[in-house]
Amino acid sequence: MPATRASNASALILVISNIANEAAASLVDSFPLGAASLITASAFHQSFKGGLDVSDFDSSQIKINGAVVPIAEISGVVTTICSFIPPEFYYIQAADRKYVCAEMNAFFTFFLSQLNCKKINPPSVRSFSGPNLNKIEWIKIASEANIPVWPVNIANSIDTGEGAIGKSKLKFHTCSVIGSNIIGRKPPGTLEHYMFDLQRIFDVPFLTCHFISNRPGKYFLAEMITRPDIIPAANRGAIVNYFS
């Protein structure tokens, strides 16, 4: 059952996700009743109704789950996907799904870009959530910012693993930040420093990174994810706190 807005609610968080992502529904349920709504491609025609005025976006009129929502009352957005994919539009005849999907992605690129509220993460032209850079792109930016990057060898977009330095005694660390807080256990100071540098450089309030360490005190950035990972309960709790 979709959450119903409480009659005294004056702000709304939109959670944009995939209908199969159970963590997205859990995230909505983590907010006070009626404070958040789940928007998916599969239920879009039932949950979202309205019109957007391109030259006067703030006057646009939308209804979410049947309730009128003034644009100014949307106080936050959490987006867990880069874009919609055609199979999500199961209610459209198969031959038209690709087209409808492209149209919906274009619609949401505009809608999310125009909302003037806290966003995890701000959309880009490539993604509903964050810059969604290819590894080759973020390696250049991170290495130029003096953040050590784990060596790679990529052939036709497949990481061959041949670039790795030694394959034994490696330690792996995963860190997530939201706003000015590390989520979960505090990492070593160097990693904390790298995380906040990367968060600033890529302009994303929520960031998850994987690091590899091959000797004490030396950490290499191995992966960077700018879409919020809402599967760990701790991450969902941190997101709710971020918007409160």
Task: Give residues in contact with another protein (CB under 8 A).
Answer: 44-45, 48-55, 57, 61, 63, 91-92, 99-100, 102-107, 109-110, 113-114, 124-126, 134-137, 139-141, 143, 148-149, 151-158, 163, 165
**Closest distance of CB 184 from another protein, Å:** 29
**Closest distance of CB 142 from another protein, Å:** 10
CB 105 within 8 A of CB 126: no
Q: Quick one: 72 or 233, whose CB is closer to another protein?
A: 72
Q: Quick one: 220 or 243, whose CB is closer to another protein?
A: 220
Residues forming beta bridges with residue 191, ordered by sequence position = none
Neighbour tally for 70: CB within 10 Å: 13
**Closest distance of CB 10 from another protein, Å:** 23
Q: Quick one: 84 or 243, whose CB is closer to another protein?
A: 84
Q: Quick one: 92 or 182, whose CB is closer to another protein?
A: 92
**Closest distance of CB 34 from another protein, Å:** 22
CA-based radius of gyration for the chain: 20
Q: Could you check whether the bond before residue 121 is cis, i.e. omega within 30 degrees of 0? A: yes
| CA dihedral angle for residue 34, residue 232, residue 16, residue 127, rounded to 10 degrees | 150
Q: How far apart are CA 189 and CA 130, in angstroms?
A: 25
Q: How far apart are CA 244 and CA 238, in angstroms?
A: 10
**Closest distance of CB 144 from another protein, Å:** 10
